[in-house]
Structure 1
């Protein structure tokens, strides 16, 4: 089973890598053209609001509630049962989302006041952000339908098309920057178009599975009610990190021009390995865990979680070290051009340090939460999410207050640290509960596995510190020289890390079996 999971995770990771690389091309173009000024802050908030809804509702609550119910129907019922469920879910979800989209567009000024209250002191900035939001908000409706289609395809083991779909958004934004690099309105138009194209891209794959029924309203259907009931706690439980990030943006809007953008660019760097590895693994194991639970296979369920945790640590720990120890060179190489000044590089680096410190916490949440949702246990992770969110909010407000009192220019980095802290709290609570309820029991070989990871990461960290150097030296280099230097240092770190693991006895077969000795 774990060999299949590794292969599926590799497919998702490869497609996600393509999307993330294009995402960096997009962000480099945006940073060069718009820097970290007022117009870019306005667009990023207008994009963040529907993205918040996407991660909280589409990829969060809806996917986590829909996939277990659909997988159970698929495993225990007929193909027609699965087709009927999809028809009523598609019709009901589409109708509700259409109403939400209309309300969101009409209430754009109110939403902007809630999510970026600091913009109120700049009438032009607030008006621009409101106009942009009316174009970007419909993205929520289309991407939610896309998430539904992706959940169906993932349940049938079709991971490539859903994983490739985000590429479309990056292509549209890159094209918009080419059309008119001086106007952020074209970026908003591109977001709107990308939502339509992403949903349309899924439809042929559904048709090949004979899962493209005519949508119909089905609010009274028991399975729809079950999905809605499961969604309510997940709306909170699966999206605590997004709520924390939005709180950071809201508070950062009071910290002057640039703070919102610095957090955005740092978050984008952190999301790169998170999306490629952590989210990929979480996406792959959810349908598998749901089927194992439906078949009452507790041992296999625990082994799947065990495999996922090992993979997260194997990739996540060196990724976190890289984000922290190599933050300056990464930011300088990717964004430090044109309108993105050396000060912007420095401020973004501070934020990346804070996000990098929480990377493992974010990653663990991605693979631990499916251990609850696959069993349709939604309230426990919701409670833990609220606790961790409150901890993060308290820290954010404290940091924000101190930044205002003492005029700290790096106050945004403290906000990022608060978000990282909430992720660690959430991950710790989730793991403790799974262990306490004996849903997850660690497999053999964790001691040897941990020692190998420790030694390999020490070697890699030493290499990065030796080769990295200060950010000022990087800013003196041209774009090509920076790219070449980053590439060979990262390659050297990867070779050193996996080479050390190989010397210490870790072999590919250890990654293909869950619960086996490592």
Structure 2
């Protein structure tokens, strides 16, 4: 099982890596053309609002609720029952989302005020954000339908197409930036077009699996009601990190031009390894965990979680170290040119320090939450998520008030630190409960595995601190020199890390079976 999961994680990771690389190209173009000014702030808020719905509803609540129910229907029922579930779910989802999209477009000024209240002091900025939002909001409908199609494909073991789909958004935005550099309106149009194309891209794969029946309304269908019942608490739980990030953006909108953009660029850097590794692993294990729960394979369920945690730590801990210890060179190399000046680099670096410190918290949540949702248990993780959210919000408000009282120069980084703290609290509570429920029982050999990781990461940290050098040296270098130096450091650091792990005895065979170390 773990060999298959490792292969599937590799497929998802590779496709996600392609998407993230193109995402970086996109963000580099954004930074160069727009910097961190008012127009970019307005577009980013207009993009964040449908993305909030996407992550909370489509990739969060709906996917986590739909996949276990579909996996159960596919495992224990007939192919016709699976087709029936797809038909009524897609029809019902499309109907509800059409109404939400219409309401969102009509209420765009209110939404802009709600998510970026600081824009209210600048009527032109608020008006621009509202205009852009009316083009970006329909993306929520199309990407939610895409998420459902992806859930079906993932449950059938088809991971490549869903993992490649996000590439389409990046291609559309990159094309828009090239067609008319400096036009945030064209960026908003590109988001709309990307939503349509992403959904259409899934349909041939569903057709080949004979899982593309004619959609129809089915609100009273038993399994649709079951999905909705699971979605409501999951929606609250899945929204925690997103609400924290949006609260940061709302508070940052009061901190002047640039603060929203600094948080965005830092979050994008943190999201790169999160998407390539953490989300990829979580995406792959959910269908496996759901199937194992449906067949009452408690031992295999625990082993799958154990395998996922070990793979995550192997890759996630060095990624977190890189985000923190190499934050300045990363930001300078990727974004520090064109309209993105030295102050923007430093301010983004401060935010990345905070997000990097919370990277493993965010990652652990992505791995641990499927352990609850695969068992169709949603209330407990929601309670923990709300607890973590309240703690993070309290910290964010405290930071914001302190910044206003004492005129702190980098208050946005404090907002990022509050969000990171919230993720750690959530992850700790989830892990403790899985252990208490005996749903997760650590396999043998964790002590030796942990010691090897500590040694490997100490070597990596020492190397990064040595090679980073002063930020001024990176800012003074040309773009090509920065890129070459950054690539060389990453290559040397990765080689040294895995060489150190090999010297202390860690081998690929330790990840072939979930129970092995």
Question: Could you state the TM-score of these two structures normalised by the residue count of structure 1?
Answer: 1.00
Task: Specify the alignment match of 2:316 in structure 1.
Answer: 316
Task: Specify the alignment match of 1:92 in structure 2.
Answer: 92
State the distance in 2 between where 1:393 and 1:6 align: 37
Task: Specify the alignment match of 2:287 in structure 1.
Answer: 287
Task: Specify the alignment match of 1:118 in structure 2.
Answer: 118
Task: Kindly tell me the number of residue pairs found equivalent between the two proteins.
Answer: 517
Q: For residues 180-206 of structure 1, what are the alpha-carbon distances to aligned partners after superposition, in whole Å with 9 as ceiling and x for unaligned?
A: 112100000000000000000000000
Please list every run of 5 or more consecutive structure 2 residues that lacks an aligned counterpart in the other structure: none
Helix, strand or coil at the partner of 1:506: coil
Matches for 1:5-84 after TM superposition, within 5 Å: 5-84=5-84
Helix, strand or coil at the partner of 2:86: helix
Following superposition, the deviation at residue 239 of structure 1 comes to 2.2
Helix, strand or coil at the partner of 2:196: helix
Q: For residues 362-420 of structure 1, what are the alpha-carbon distances to aligned partners after superposition, in whole Å with 9 as ceiling and x for unaligned?
A: 00000100000000000000000000000000000000001111111200000000000
State the distance in 1 between where 2:391 and 2:471 align: 33
State the distance in 1 between where 2:22 and 2:157 align: 25
State the distance in 2 between where 1:384 and 1:328 align: 34
State the distance in 1 between where 2:339 and 2:511 align: 44
State the distance in 2 between where 1:443 and 1:251 align: 44
Q: For residues 295-346 of structure 1, what are the alpha-carbon distances to aligned partners after superposition, in whole Å with 9 as ceiling and x for unaligned?
A: 0000000000000000111100000000000000000000000100000000
State the distance in 1 between where 2:315 and 2:193 align: 35
Matches for 1:135-154 after TM superposition, within 5 Å: 135-154=135-154
State the distance in 2 between where 1:218 and 1:449 align: 50
State the distance in 2 between where 1:150 and 1:409 align: 43
State the distance in 2 between where 1:67 and 1:472 align: 49
- Corresponding position: 1:208 with 2:223: no
State the distance in 2 between where 1:307 and 1:182 align: 46
State the distance in 1 between where 2:408 and 2:190 align: 36
State the distance in 1 between where 2:238 and 2:438 align: 22
Helix, strand or coil at the partner of 1:143: helix
State the distance in 1 between where 2:238 and 2:297 align: 25
Task: Specify the alignment match of 1:502 in structure 2.
Answer: 502
State the distance in 2 between where 1:48 and 1:364 align: 23
Helix, strand or coil at the partner of 1:257: coil
Following superposition, the deviation at residue 471 of structure 1 comes to 1.2
Task: Specify the alignment match of 2:390 in structure 1.
Answer: 390
Q: For residues 32-63 of structure 1, what are the alpha-carbon distances to aligned partners after superposition, in whole Å with 9 as ceiling and x for unaligned?
A: 00000000000000000000000000000000
Following superposition, the deviation at residue 512 of structure 1 comes to 1.6
Task: Specify the alignment match of 1:253 in structure 2.
Answer: 253
Task: Specify the alignment match of 1:353 in structure 2.
Answer: 353
Task: Specify the alignment match of 2:307 in structure 1.
Answer: 307
RMSD between superposed Cα atoms in Å: 0.4
Task: Specify the alignment match of 2:106 in structure 1.
Answer: 106
Helix, strand or coil at the partner of 1:340: coil
State the distance in 2 between where 1:215 and 1:136 align: 25
Question: Could you state the TM-score of these two structures normalised by the residue count of structure 2?
Answer: 1.00
Matches for 1:397-408 after TM superposition, within 5 Å: 397-408=397-408
Please list every run of 5 or more consecutive structure 1 residues that lacks an aligned counterpart in the other structure: none
Helix, strand or coil at the partner of 1:39: helix
Matches for 1:212-291 after TM superposition, within 5 Å: 212-291=212-291
State the distance in 1 between where 2:278 and 2:491 align: 21
Task: Specify the alignment match of 1:470 in structure 2.
Answer: 470
Matches for 1:308-387 after TM superposition, within 5 Å: 308-387=308-387
Following superposition, the deviation at residue 470 of structure 1 comes to 1.5
Following superposition, the deviation at residue 263 of structure 1 comes to 0.1
Mean Cα deviation higher: 177-186 or 43-52: 177-186
Task: Specify the alignment match of 2:129 in structure 1.
Answer: 129
Mean Cα deviation higher: 274-283 or 175-184: 175-184
